[in-house]
Structure 1
Amino acid sequence: MRKKEAEMPVRRSSRLQPEVTSEEMRNNAEVEEQDDPIILLRSSIKAHRLLPAVTEFQPETEPTQPVLKEEPAPTPTRTKKNSLQEFLEGKDRAVPGEGPESFPRVVLKRLEVPEKGEEEEKKKDVVEERKVIAQSTPVYSGNLRMKEKLLTPGTDWRMLRERRILKPLDTAASRKRMLGDGQKRVLWTSVCTYLLPCLLILGGASWYLWEFGTPRSLLAVPAKMHQGWSAFALLWRKWQRKEGCSSHCRFLLVESIPENLQYEQEAVHHLSVYRAWMELLEGANSSVDIAAFYFTLRDTDLKVETPSSHQGKNVLEKLLELPSRGVKLSIAVNSSQKSQSDTEDLTKKGADVKYLDFQRLTGGVLHTKLWIVDKKHIYIGSANMDWRSLTQMKELGVVLYNCSCLAQDLHKVFQMYRYLGEEGVSIPHPWPRAFSADSSHTHPLHVMLNNNTAEVYISSSPFALCSEGRTYDLAAILSIIDDAEQFIYISVMDYVPRCQSCNPVRFWPAIDDRLRAAACDRGVVVRLLVSCWSHSDMSVFVFLESLSLLSREPLGCPIQVKVFVVPADEEQKKIPFARVNHNKYMVTDRIAYIGTSNWSEDYFTKSAGIGLIINQTAANTGDSTLVRKELETVFHRDWDSSYTQNLHSKMSCNTES
């Protein structure tokens, strides 16, 4: 056997396995001798599968060994029966390559046997491919049969099968990930349940302390919070505005001329207050906001019908129609009214009326006369919501059209009034930032009035109602007097240099001293036109006379004082609180001022009022459409009319025709 083993030709598969030792070859030979030829053939094939593949062309660097080529075996001479019998008896077993009866030599082709890492990579690829298929498969509701009907393409059905076969691997990493997700879910639940409410409460408390300061008592907190909510709503409405405010405004002076008062034919005339109010109400589309001292548009207070009250009744009818037209009517009115029939009827029709108890808040009254229509049209003047202000009193005001920049600033003042109309509130100090002024003496609004440049701002009184940036009304008047260079013309109903409601009554020279200084120190011409009527305090004329005495020599200060008397017949004299020049304006060579307050300390320190200041110095082109020019013309008309009287020591206000 060992001789045969030495002489046996090397198999091609054995030659390609350099690591096989001689001992292993001997063991293989012994196996070949013991096993059946058929088993020997299968063992050989199995061994060759585990060996590396052999290509037909070997590189020249490999060691040369005899290579077996496939040759046809000689045809056996024995019969088929004898060959089969010998094969079964074992006599036909022979070593391949020896003798004519040996088995044919076979060259085995290389089999692709994956290396150690390739099998794992293929498994990973299969898993990844299944994941992609599962993610791309649409999710269908219903049972599997319905899914088969919905998935028409065969590929979709295979994808769905793959998705059903795939199951999440229950590995340690997946369990750890699931535990981590649960912990995150518990953490977020805790944050949303406990931490966020605590942060909201802390933030709200911080905002409250920053906005209002430390509360004096817990009872003040609800009112402050309500005020803060009003301020937030105001800011929200401001942020909700989609269009920028308009600064190209058109202004129009309006007047009420009492019955039986007639000027010369060539004298200047302006649109009536009644006509201006009716046009504003007829053109209102969304909102009408009115701040007034009182509402008496009907003659019910007299209990006698008066023909001259028809204009007031028409205005009231237009106001009653607004809610039915979809126009929101908001009113702020002083609470102490002799008659509330007008406001009660307006409330029944859908108006939102707030009553302000200024006697409790400041010791004064709400003396403002203000209209804001559609947040862009404005009326400011001396006329109250009274039928007498349209036919029995001399009034002056201004209407600004399409002036939303200024209207938005005025609306903040109106919102302050509305807030003070709430039950149990007090004046905040300071006011929330939502009520901060958009215009002031130092930062006026730059607008176009009738195609002329102008600087405009709003002043307010008393000082407690001046929010951040708002100019105090008295400070605005004093600054205008100090700014004058040539003249100062003033037309007011009452000029009282003292506090009449104070106990005891005291002298108040704030405006009086500034007028004296302007005339005597700078040589500015000062003309003061005050009203004389049945309710005039005659002691006031003593102060006025002392002022006019400064014009005498040797002082020669250019100060003049006159009184304006509105004529009245016997029937008109029976009308209470009528037949008076109710104007409240001032004009200089540089600035125009139109206000709502009488000139005494009480109106500036206790009562609510506003002023409109217009500076058109840069547009001083001589155009008659300037507000300052028009006011100057009105003043000269009244000053030179037959209804004025020179001031004297024995003054009596005779209102006869």
Structure 2
Amino acid sequence: MRRKEPTSGRSRDTPVRRSSRLQPDRVGEQVSREPQSLRGSHVADILSPRESIRAHRKQVKPAKDPSPSPPRGSSQSSEEAEAHEDSGQTVLERDTALLPQPNIEWEVVKDKRARLQVLETSQPRSTKARPQMERRTTASSQGRVENETFALGQQSRAGIAARSKAATMKKADSSKSQAGAPQKWAKRLPYRSVLGFLLFFLILGFVCWFAWKHGNPGSFLGLAGYEAWRWSNFPKLWNAVEECSSQCSLVLVESIPSTLDYETLTPHHPSIYQAWMNLLDGANSSVEIAAFYFTLRDSDVHVEDPSSKQGKAVFESLRALPSRGVKLSIAVNSPQFSQYDTDELARHGADVRYVDMKNLTGGILHTKIWVVDRKHIFVGSANMDWRSLTQVKELGAVLYNCSCLARDLHRIFAIYRILGKDGASIPPKWPADLAAKSGLTHPLKLQLNGTGGQLYLSSSPPALCSSGRTSDLTAILSTIEDAEDFVYIAVMDYEPQCTFCKPKRFWPVIDDALRTAACERRVKVRLLISCWKHSHPAMFVFLDSLRVLSYEPLHCPIEVKLFVVPSEGEQPPIPYAHVNHNKYMVTDRIAYIGTSNWSEDYFTRTAGVGLVVNQSEASAGTPGQTLRQQLEKVFIRDWDSPYVQPLSKHWECSRK
């Protein structure tokens, strides 16, 4: 066969495929739609698609290009492809300049309507990747460029929508997490509620304990005087209570004036002067004294008297205490007749408090107590006066190594110290730290000189009695009521009336108790009352009303006598001397030693203290004798002494 010569061109008679015949028409349509500025540059791409595909395959490896390949049937040289890429890049940049550039990544999908898919995890592409993306555009028609531009806009909008959807989902997740937070907190709520309730009950328990320990909050103002809030005292809140000594030594002490001849009379007891000096010599840390007044030197009478020697010795020992490192605290009635002693003691380091009882209760501070080292105490009738040691008949008791009773007596002294502050007032309730550790219903059970006994401290007036403290009047009445055989009383003044009231009024409280004991229970009652020039005439009328009960038809066992201390005509006379100043009572069961005279004023307005000792369970033959037995013998000695006169002669002793 004869081979035909190839021709460079194609004859019009030569048959042409349908695709080839239709291609010029489509190309013409696309060229007509293309803008004028792009027609010349894209003609070669449209007429030779196969060269374009070959050039594209040389530059981009098919394995790495996931984009769809251009349609078959076009060819283009590599130079024309590069020119097409440059021109295409220009068109894409110009068409997409007005659209936002999302972070997108192209992916082939089967759905023809969605050629592209936006992935949220895509990273921004660099400008070097744009030619590869532009090579994926179809070179078969110029309209494909517009379609791709439109698709790019759709993709951009899809990216924005995807990002807004992601942001919406993120907000929803955050709102869910916030909504879940209360649920988690609600799960923890029961535990927090339990802890809150435990904390509440803990605070409530502390408040209840504090109120029980320190009393009414209205009384806290007085604690400053008690020094209960110092840092050094806070460990005491949880420290164990110090055990007190139960083996106490008790000594009955007296002052016998030189004008009384007691050498032949028994019993004899140590002097109050010697007891005071022993307490001062043995003091190691503190000495606390409450007294009506301080006149240990004879400077108050401006006369030197030889009998003041003992008082001066006591004063010198008191003045030397601060220099020895012993704290001296004093509570004294205000105003004082003479402040020479207290002022000088204060200059040498003593802490002196003046208690204006007249302003507080309408009475005076008539207490006479000592507390030494919170271990030893003195309670009795003796004032801090040089006459109480040599010129006045006094009686008291000293207890050694009796810390329980000493700490209880210190609480009474602390109340005086509180009232001695400037602007002090009596609180509605005293702090619990000052509560009594002994009383009528809860006495201390101790060994006194080897003999068991029950004892407690009483105080007056009731306004100065802290929680649990038995009032002095109650202690006296209960002692009288407890008597079964006898009641012996030795006091300076006995007046069933309010002596210092204006107008005076009848007060038969103690008087009725004595009448009842004598006339109803047939208890023998004896009263030994002092008679001197300061005795009130009305007192003898009341005493006579008791004495007449012994006459027919009652025959009540009541006896009254007067005790007179002779003065022997001293010149010049010593004021407020030569008197029986005793204030005690003894029954067949109980011994009572107090600091008050027996009238209403001393139990309702005036401050005083009483010591009550019950050793009735001890046998009568106890060696060393009990306090009750000793006190009974003292009363019998004075009752039978030559210094006693019948009540009918009261006018003689009261005028001297």
- Regarding TM over 0.5, the answer is yes
1:67 is matched with which residue? none
The Cα offsets for residues 471-529 of structure 1, whole Å up to 9 and x where unpaired, read as: 01100100000000000000000001000111211000000000000000000000000
- Would you say 1:640 and 2:631 are equivalent positions? no
Q: Which residue of 2 aligns with 1:114?
A: none
- Give the structure 2 partner of residue 391 of structure 1: 390
Aligned residue in 2 for 1:562: 561
Shift in CA distance, 323/649, structure 1 to aligned 2, threshold 3 Å: closer
> How far apart, in 2, do the equivalents of 1:573 and 1:288 lie?
35
State the 1:402 CA deviation: 0.5
Query: How much does 1:534 deviate?
Result: 1.1
CA RMSD of aligned residues (A): 2.6
Q: How many residues align?
A: 454
Offset of 1:574 from its aligned partner? 1.1
Please report the TM-score for the alignment, with normalisation by the length of structure 2: 0.66
Deviations 1:72-101 (A, max 9, x none): xxxxxxxxxxxxxxxxxxxxxxxxxxxxxx
Name the aligned partner's letter for residue 296 of structure 2. Answer: L
Deviations 1:591-629 (A, max 9, x none): 000000000000000010000000001113323521000
Structure 2 alignment gaps of length 5 or more: 1-198
Aligned to 2:183: none
Q: Deviations over 1:300-336 (max 9, x none)?
A: 1111111110000000000011111111111111121
Give 1:464's aligned amino acid: A
Q: Distance in 2 between matches of 1:259 and 1:362?
A: 37
What does the per-residue CA deviation read over 1:430-462, in whole Å, with 9 as the maximum and x for residues that have no partner?
Answer: 111111110110110000000000001000000
Letter in 1 for 2:510: I
The 3 A distance-change label for structure 1 pair 389 and 206 is closer
Q: Radius of gyration: which is bigger?
A: 2
1:207: how far off?
A: 6.1
Counterparts of 1:650 and 1:266 in 2: how far apart (Å)? 24
Per-residue CA deviations over 1:396-435 (Å, capped at 9, x if unaligned) read 0000010001101111111111111111121111111111
Change beyond 3 A, Cα 1:551–1:364: same
User: Is 2:355–2:416's contact at 8 Å kept on the other side of the alignment?
Assistant: yes
Per-residue deviation, 1:572: 6.1
Q: Deviations over 1:347-397 (max 9, x none)?
A: 111111111111111111111100011110110000000000000000000
Structure-2 change in CA distance of 1:569 and 1:440 (3 Å): same
CA distance in 2, matches of 1:416, 1:572: 42
The match for 2:513 is 514
Counterpart residue number, 1:374:
373
Counterpart CA distance in 1 for 2:570 and 2:529 is 24
Structure 2 partner of 1:614: 613
CA distance in structure 2 between the aligned counterparts of 1:502 and 1:283, rounded to whole angstroms: 43
Distance, in Å, in 2 between the alignment partners of 1:388 and 1:258 is 9
1:628 matched residue in structure 2: 628
Kept after mapping to 2: 8 A contact 1:498/1:601: yes
Q: Does structure 1 residue 422 correspond to structure 2 residue 421?
A: yes
> 1:223 matched to which residue of 2?
221
1:283 aligns with 2:289: no
Residue by residue over 1:559-595, the C-alpha shift from the partner in whole angstroms, topping out at 9 and shown as x without a partner, is 0000000000222671111110000000000000000
Secondary structure, aligned partner of 1:389:
helix
Where does structure 1 lack aligned partners over 5 or more consecutive residues? 1-195, 216-220
Displacement after TM superposition at 1:242 (Å): 7.7
Partner of 2:599: 600
Residue by residue, what CA displacement relative to the aligned partner does 1:173-229 show, whole Å, maximum 9, x if unpaired?
Answer: xxxxxxxxxxxxxxxxxxxxxxx9xx99999999689966586xxxxx983573686
**Which residue pairs with 1:138 in the alignment?**
none
Change (3 A) 1:244 1:303: same
Aligned AA (2:530):
S
Read off the aligned partner of 2:461 and give its amino acid letter: P
Aligned to 2:106: none
| Contact kept in structure 1, 2:249 and 2:449, CA below 8 Å | yes
Q: CA deviation at 1:245?
A: 1.0
Partner of 2:450: 451
Match of 1:313 in 2: 312
Does the alignment pair 1:533 with 2:538?
Answer: no
1:230 Cα offset (Å):
3.4
Describe the shift of the 1:288–1:655 C-alpha distance in structure 2 as closer, same or farther (beyond 3 A).
farther
Contact 1:454 1:618 in 2 (8 A): yes
Q: Per the alignment, do residues 235 and 644 of structure 1 end up closer, same or farther by CA in structure 2, a change over 3 Å counting?
A: farther
C-alpha contact 2:531 2:650 (8 A) present in aligned 1: no
Q: Could you tell me which residue of structure 1 aligns to residue 329 of structure 2?
A: 330
- For residue 550 of structure 2, what is the aligned residue in structure 1? 551
3-state SS of paired residue (2:653): coil
Aligned-pair CA distance for 1:238: 8.1
Judged with a 3 Å threshold, the aligned counterparts in structure 2 of structure 1 residues 225 and 564 are, in CA distance, closer, same or farther, namely: closer
Cα gap change, 1:591 to 1:228, in 2 (>3 Å):
closer
SS of the residue corresponding to residue 537 of structure 2 reads coil
- Residue 460 of structure 1 pairs with residue 459 of structure 2: yes
TM-score (norm 1): 0.66
Residue aligning to 1:485: 484
Letter in 2 for 1:486: D
Instruction: Determine if contact 1:251/1:400 at 8 Å carries over to the other structure.
Output: yes
